[in-house]
Structure 1
């Protein structure tokens, strides 16, 4: 596929997603400007990131450090905001703190400490979101998606807010597999409101992907993490 053909394909996907966002916002009585669309580019090459930037989409997410780090370096000349959205091991915190602007997957105290130390060492400030487990057992589910138990979320938010080099951004969650996402996203909205009472600037609600962005918008999501609907089916990276 030529760059021109790929650009046309991405433009079509972007237009379709933006149309869905517009319709969902209209149905929910919300302003489209409240929504930040993040392109999840895992398994896609840096060339796609460049093409998306050319189309005006400069919020980019990755979920694996070993893929994100070289891709961020390759696109360092672009005005991008990099989001890390995958489960994060503490031993990867230093690497991620070097390029990520927003970390969506903070779910435990040890990770807060590791990111804080790494951000200070790098001379950067990371915006961090508390990842909330919306699985019934609040244990991340069988796929190991991670997330703090809902009753632990306020305390973890306080830890992030008080940590050097970190800034509390809000909350993030993934809807449970095979279930209606509305109850889960409604619960997330309640937790987000609880956090904002103590931290008024923590306004991000990161929820909604290709299959459930409408439900997320209806429940107050501010940031959508969309991959397949924008970029197509997953593929091996070809540089």
Structure 2
């Protein structure tokens, strides 16, 4: 076993222990939580090692890094998630490899994703990104729509050809009433998810929690956690 493979295996085992423990504490089954490994800035060789170790969901936040990496790993049975702020001029490329875009936060992006998905002849999963630090009608510092804009944007996704509304995503905010309190932030996201599922019952995915706060996300009810540094560790990065 190579040193890098051994390092990734050890890190994955630690993360798995954390998820198992968090699920037990929350009275949830382990299979209710899907691990997405955020491979941004790390090379395709790491993605291949992660696949060998059983990882099937990976995430990227920059198309210029993700597109060539996904092409290098096209022979692997992986689900690629796009989690970064997405510019409309990158939509066509992202639709070429991503199965889910977790960062849908404006109507113009919905229109672009729909057109690209239709042209590619595929269905693209979409999550509405919620900015819990945003005022009404505004976007968050790291993207996302304000809570009061979720329903309208979700309806737009659900009505768009080629798109599938899968649920909601958030990042624990650095400012506003939820700053420093990820559990409260994730509880708020779950409230929004519950409200959304009244009219969109299939939108069950709740993506929340990263390396520092996965336990709080699992406790709140997240169905997917996005883990980067806890799995990939510190090493020389691309670019």
Same fold (TM over 0.5): yes
8 A contact 2:134–2:145 mirrored in 1: no
> Would you identify which runs of 4 or more consecutive aligned residues in structure 1 move more than 3 Å?
136-141
The CA deviation at 1:234 is 5.7
Q: CA deviation at 1:211?
A: 0.2
Report the TM-score when normalising by structure 1.
0.95
CA contact (8 A) 2:134 2:146 kept: no
Match of 2:16 among 15, 18, 22: 18
State the alpha-carbon separation in 1 of the partners of residues 109 and 226 from structure 2: 22
Q: Could you list the runs of 5+ residues in structure 2 that have no partner in the other structure? A: none
Unmatched tracts of structure 1, length 5 or more: none
Distance 1:157 1:106 in 2: 9
Residue aligning to 2:200: 199
- Contact 1:43–1:235 (CA<8 Å) still a contact in 2? no
The aligned counterpart of 2:223 is 222
What's the TM-score, normalizing by structure 2?
A: 0.95
What is the CA–CA distance in structure 2 between the aligned matches of 1:107 and 1:184, rounded to whole Å?
18
Distance in 2 (CA, whole Å) between partners of 1:229 and 1:137 is 32
CA distance in 1, matches of 2:29, 2:135: 34
Residue 149 of structure 2 corresponds to 152
Aligned to 2:233: 232
Count of residue pairs brought into register by the alignment: 234
**Deviation at residue 235 of structure 1 after TM alignment:** 3.2
Q: Alignment partner of 2:84: what SS?
A: coil
Q: Is 1:165 matched with 2:166?
A: no
Q: CA RMSD in A?
A: 1.3
